[in-house]
Structure formats: C-alpha cells, structure tokens
Structure 1
Amino acid sequence: MYHRQQLVGVWHRSEDLGSEQFSEFAELKVDGTFIFTFYSYNLEGKLLSQISEVGDWGLVGDIHFTITNGEIEHDKDYPADRCDEQNYHAYRVLELSESQFTYEHIVSGEKFTLKRVSKTGNPC
C-alpha cells in the first residue's frame, strides 16, 4: 500500500533521445497540485525548449493520477482544454521508495522512473 505523502517532493528523470537530451522535473505539492517542467537540450547542451504543465495530482492505492489545468511557455500561461482527454492520465505505481518512483501509464503501457531530488511539504 502506498501513501500520497510518499510522493510529495521534487522528482527528476532524464533521457537521451539521440539527437537531443530530455529532462523532467516533477514537483508534487502537499496540497495536491503539481508543476512538471520539461526541458530539451541539443547535444552541445543548449536549451531548445522549456515547457511547464500545472494541475492536480493524487494517489489512490497503487493508482497515481494527474489532471493538467494549464501550460506555461515563455512566461505565458495557457489554460488547458478541460474537454481534451489528453489532459487526464492514470498510472499504476510499480515502485515508490524514498529515492525512486517508477510507474506505468494505464493506457499506453509506457514506464517512467524518476529519482527524488528533494522532499518538501508538510503532512496533511
């Protein structure tokens, strides 16, 4: 059994996509909101793009879910289309420890592993 407090904090993952590097920082706040920031870099380390998603998250049993409410790009806020099913995601938690969070998208089967950067927030 997993507890939502275990997810509160900042998590990171990165990936080599061949022609560029991808990095994600996921901040899961104790109040149930999130900020996910995605970075793409070229092979020389130059930042190509930075986009943040904001929304709500939760954990019920071994199901982690997110609801995207908006995006931030170039310091401009864009509200999410609440009718777009791509703004709603559910994941099965495969591992959740003090240092690692591995989960699988319920629909696509895509797996992600994030490492804890910091633990923040007060217990509810």
Structure 2
Amino acid sequence: MTKFFTFLAVPLIFLVGCETTQTSSKSVAIAKPNLSISQEDQWHLMVGKWYGNQPSKEGGAKQWIVERYPNGNYRIDFRTIKNDGNIESSSEVGQWGVSGPVYFSSFRGWLEGDNVKPSDPSDPYNYDAYQIIKLNNEIFEYEHFLTGNRFTLKRVSSDFKFD
C-alpha cells in the first residue's frame, strides 16, 4: 500500500511543481518587432559630433563635445569653466543607445592620455536615461529622467574642437 501511494505521490509532486502562475493576463508578442523606419532614422541622426555649451547651476559654464559612433560607442570631451575663470577638462567613453523616445548611456571609463581608466560596471551611477525632446539634423535636446537637467546640443563638423 505504501508503494502504491509513493507511486501516485511522486508524479503528483512533479505536476504541482511545474504549475506556473500568470503574472498578468495582458498578452505580449513572442519576439521583438522589427525596428520602424523612424527608429532607424533616429539612430542615424544621433551618430556624429555634437556640441553643447550651457551655464552651470554653480555659476560658470559647462561645454562638451560628444561623438557618437554607429557601433554604439561614444566619447565625450568636457570643459568646465569655473566662476574664477579656471578651466577643468576631462574625457569619458562609453556606450549609447536609443529606444523610442528614450536615449540612454552607459559610462565605461575616463580617458587618461591614450588609456582608458575603467569605471565600475556594477555601479548604477554609471547609467543614465533621458527623454528625447527634439532631434533633427541640427539640434538634439534631451532631459534626464532623474535630475530634470535639460541639455541642448547642436551638430558640428567632424573636425570641430573647443576654442
């Protein structure tokens, strides 16, 4: 009799263990749909060299030149002009992407000469997401989801440099 209950109980345990609970009744597509033409255009619009120059909340100004590459990598050269006239410069590299109205970046490290000092990829501070406000061949405006900082950049030639 014990063998009979064991014989019935083991398959029953496996069947109950395989049961899944739906987390939502809303259906989803099995696979991600192909990109729309507008998303492809958006990607290609963002590739290239862009320049931003805005006042900082602390006084002075922040300038940056960002170059986004078609492979999803980027480089940004920053120049911060302090109230006292001192200038600080730095450069960073990372990865970028766009999905619908969201532009995002993943900071991967600082440039020190020809070398990259890597950032910590497990640090959430190194990831940013922005709402795209305006994007065309001349202007790119976007707003950081968390800070509310709004940035406006203009497209520049590939040989553009700080003054």
Q: In proportion to residue count, which structure has more helix?
A: 2
Equivalent AA in structure 1 for residue 51 of structure 2: H
Q: TM-score with structure 2 length normalisation? A: 0.64
Q: Equivalent residue for 1:106?
A: 145
Residue in 2 that maps onto 1:122: none
Deviation at 1:31, TM superposition (A): 0.9
Residue number among 79, 90, 105 corresponding to 1:66 in the alignment: 105
Confirm or deny that 1:39 pairs with 2:86. Answer: no
Root-mean-square deviation over aligned CA pairs: 2.2
In the alignment of these two chains, the number of paired residues is: 118
Give the secondary-structure state (helix, strand or coil) at the position aligned to 1:118. Answer: coil
Unaligned runs of 5+ in 1: 120-124
Which SS does the other structure have where 2:156 is aligned?
A: strand
The residue number in structure 1 matching 2:130 is 91
Q: Whole-Å Cα distance in 2 between the matches of residues 78 and 97 of structure 1?
A: 33
Relative contact order higher in (CA < 8 Å, ≥ 6 apart): 1
Q: State the AA in 2 paired with 1:37.
A: D
In structure 2, the gaps of 5 or more residues are 1-37, 159-163
More strand by share: 1
Task: Specify the SS of the correspondent of 1:25.
Answer: strand
Identity %: 32
2:24 equivalent in structure 1: none
TM-superposed CA distance for 1:40, in Å, is 1.9
Q: Does 91-100 or 12-21 show the bigger shift?
A: 12-21
In structure 2, distance between residues paired with 1:58 and 1:20: 30
